Chains A and B, each alone.
Chain A
């Protein structure tokens, strides 16, 4: 038995070495490529190597909302502050039980209309439609029967008048130039079918007329850790995967899509929690299956400021939903896995999400069990284990700090010396404490995965000016 355990633990140690070495290499490559790419783009922009145009193509902005009375007006106001000429705003109230619709109707003086809507993708029925023509652009509010976020977005697609649509979350704020930035890749290359933007934590920013007036790292440790986590995640994986058209996620908080391709692919899934990831994967699958030349791009200069959960409970709700969504999507599109027809998406991207995102909490639990077994057998090298862990945490922290600094100069943000110091501390704490907690949360999503299918996640929101 002891000999069997010995052999088994040796195999496990080789597996973990390869697993971590691959991950460290991936992270390293991702941050290096990301850093170089952002540096290069900043340089290009500084010498007018960009598509600047007085009139880009028209865009329909879709805002699905469910019980968002606290933040929705700020969100719409930020959309009205955009420096873009041709767009419309469509808010889809998916059966809210608070006064989401009423605050919009009152604030923007909307009037009821009997607007016929063409159903090109499936969705539940509209209850009332309101329009406002007194603002800079046309605003439409559609109140509908509750059907989930994917269903609400499908309603938005049906009502959209323009060939491209942008989806954003109702608790988010767009920076003044975000829409212009996100359409630029699609303007420059007509084969681009979707563009994702950069999501940052709204608690850090004060926007004035759509421009960043000040930036600071919040005192709340949980929020600060999410700030650096977002910076690392968006710098690390998105840009690297973008380099081979392999992004499997376009965040629901900010994504631009070509409407005809999304309609042809069947629109948003209505039975998946992670409808944003599902759509991105579906578009890959659809375009490849139909030999449609396509690109899905990530535009790091299109910034959306989104509220991060400020309590552990809300964070848990959010991350469980994300993890479940990923699970459902990867399961639904498992035909792509190691399928040569899908190229790097079926191998590198899918494999990364499977091993380092979906199964990582399970692998971590296996790691802990192996440690206990090694203690039992008496072959655990404690000093090495501790030094390895600390070194790995330091490695993660340095990468995170790099990502944080990178964001400062590419977005021309002014950050105080105190905030820079705070960021260094937060990066270390995030690496050592926050990530293990998140892994536990993600693990719990496997256990409770049946319970919250098709529901909107309820996270406590604050008015942006109170953040």
Chain B
């Protein structure tokens, strides 16, 4: 047995030392890579500057430079260096023009990268998302190629592709991407979807309308994302959303999102429905109590005072917040019999006072 033990220990020791050597090698290799990348970045900076000079003189960028882009940037390590050189100048109009002129080459690169490993595809999509606004002329072709990155992809790859689609402003690209994820039962976090949609560089209202039509098929996750996107920038969906809400055509999460929409963009036709939700202590009462802040009126105050005595703690809290925002008076607070309700509204009033508001009237 002694021989076996010794053998095993020596074997493990040997592998551990290999591991240690690998670590040391990797630390040194990282240093080497950093130096090499610095050199390559400087090379590309010089190349790009030269092309920008040509553009300034009124000429087009050199064909040899375009060829260089395709032959060199197909290597991820070179692309990293190229992006490091270009990134600080992206806001300049001349750089945008430079990218526009090389749009065909970026399309070729997109095809070449589609054959690469998922991590490299993800990186290429990330780079495209940074250059997107300059490549809008190629949006249809690029979006079709980028959709080819989806099979066997990771969440990082999908997210970077979506970011690139938002950046190049391709409505049909986004629509097809969502449909692909739905068809292939790939779940993408709702928050990433909604926050990503807000960055869409094309016509956001048109995109939201298109997506909303398909959302019924895709499900609540997408519905919620579109509602949250619309909440960021437009009040033109009130009729559409109120119809969906009143007809019960949306799930709970989406309904909450719609109520938040109506808090930001008050819409008179839903006022009665909001009252009803609070009075019936529905599951949506929490959001309804909050939304009523945007619907001043005597009846609103009466409904919120009822909501203040709700069994649901969050409804009480939101009703108190709304009442304070609507300017409930100190006398009205003193008339409240429910101890918990009174404590809640007094706290909300004090909080508003501390934040710099008037507190209670």
Contact = CB atoms under 8 A, between A and B. Distances in A.
B16 to A, nearest CB: 4
B157 interface: yes
Given A398-B17, A402-B16, 6 more contacts: A13-B1, A17-B5, A21-B8, A44-B156, A49-B123, A388-B6
A338 B30 CA distance: 44
A222 interface: no
A405 B21 CA distance: 10
Q: Tell which of B6, B9, B355 has the most Cβ of chain A within 10 Å.
A: B9
A190 interface: yes
A116 B27 contact: no
A51 B156 contact: yes
A118 B317 CA distance: 10
B8 A24 contact: yes
A252 B125 CA distance: 38
A54 B192 CA distance: 10
Nearest to A114: B347
A429 to B, nearest CB: 18
A402 B126 CA distance: 33
Interface in A392-409: 392, 394-395, 398-399, 401-402, 405-406, 408-409
Interface string B132-154: 00000000000000000000001
Contacts of A188: 155, 189
B76 interface: yes
A219 interface: no
A326 interface: no
Contact of B191 (A48, A57, A111, A394): A57
B9 A395 contact: yes
Nearest to A190: B189
A391 B11 CA distance: 11
Interface residues of A, number: 50
Contact of B12 (A28, A55, A116, A190): A28
A19 interface: no
Contacts of A387: 6
Given A28-B16, A35-B23, A57-B191, A47 B122 contact: yes
B293 interface: no
A216 to B, nearest CB: 17
B19 A32 contact: yes
Interface in B344-361: 344, 346-347, 350-351, 354-355
Interface in A172-231: 187-190
28 contacts: A13-B1, A28-B16, A31-B16, A31-B19, A35-B23, A46-B80, A47-B80, A47-B126, A48-B123, A48-B126, A48-B160, A49-B156, A53-B191, A111-B354, A113-B347, A113-B351, A114-B346, A114-B350, A115-B347, A116-B343, A116-B347, A388-B6, A388-B9, A391-B9, A395-B16, A402-B20, A405-B20, A405-B24
B5 A388 contact: yes
Contacts of B9: 24, 388, 391-392, 395
Interface residues of B, number: 48
A88 B12 CA distance: 48
Given A17-B1, A133-B355, A402 B19 contact: yes
Nearest to B356: A133
A372 interface: no
A114 B12 contact: no
A395 B13 CA distance: 6
B171 interface: no
A376 interface: no
Contacts of A430: none
Nearest to A186: B189
Given A28-B12, A28-B15, A402-B20, A409 B155 contact: no
Contact of A51 (B1, B159, B344): B159
Contacts of B22: 35
B17 A116 contact: no
B26 interface: yes
